[in-house]
Amino acid sequence: EHPHLGFSLQQGDTGYLEELLDRRRIDVALVHLPLTTRDEDLAIQPLARACFRVMCLADSPLAHHSQVTLTQLAAWPLVVMRRKSGFGVYDNVMQFFLKAGLKPQILADASDVPMMKYLVEQGMGVGLLPMLEENHEVSTLLTLPVPELDAVADDLVLIYRSPHPCHTVLRDRKS
């Protein structure tokens, strides 16, 4: 319908994508809350709510459970999702463990899921990350819910400058 309209995919953590949006290098971004900016010109469109899942090998003792508790997680080396900068889900999860009187064994933190999957596939620990889809299959790994952490799970949102220049372009093309 719009043959001259194209797009480029940029990948990064929330802070990096916000910076690209601020510098007008991108028009829109799919990011996880919380935002690191206080820019009042950004429009936010909520898209989905995440829930926490543990990634583990099929032969892991955790695989025999239908869900995992914080107490169970504290006994395992964890690979966790973490932003490169700014406050995010990682900080909330660490606070949740502390409030429960538990000290998690953080083996590694990563800002990208493929690296987390690799470490778990190598048997180095279990992964803990927010996931969006109902189909929680992650290649050869099992994923199990961690209901205690749902309160700190984040939202996936679309952010853009308001009013977005793309609205004008699309409206002008229809005329």
Q: What is the DSSP string of 73-111?
A: HTTSEEEEE--SSS--HHHHHHHHHHHTT---EEEEEES
Distance CA 136, CA 75 (A): 23
Q: Tell me which amino acid residue 65 is.
A: H
| Number of Cβ atoms within 10 Å of the Cβ of 161 | 16
**Confidence at 168, pLDDT banded by 50, 70, 90:** very low
H helical segments located in the chain: 14-22, 70-73, 89-99, 113-121, 165-174
Q: How many CB atoms lie within 10 A of CB 160?
A: 19
Q: How confident is the model at residue 112 (pLDDT cuts 50, 70, 90)?
A: confident
What is this structure's pTM?
Answer: 0.67
pLDDT tens figures, 3-46: 777 776 666 677 778 888 888 888 888 777 767 766 677 788 88
Residue in this structure with the two tokens 């190598």, named with its chain if needed: 122
Burial class (CB in 10 A: 0-12, 13-18, 19+), 47: exposed
Tell me, what's the pLDDT at 174?
43
Rounded distance, CA 40 to CA 85, Å? 21
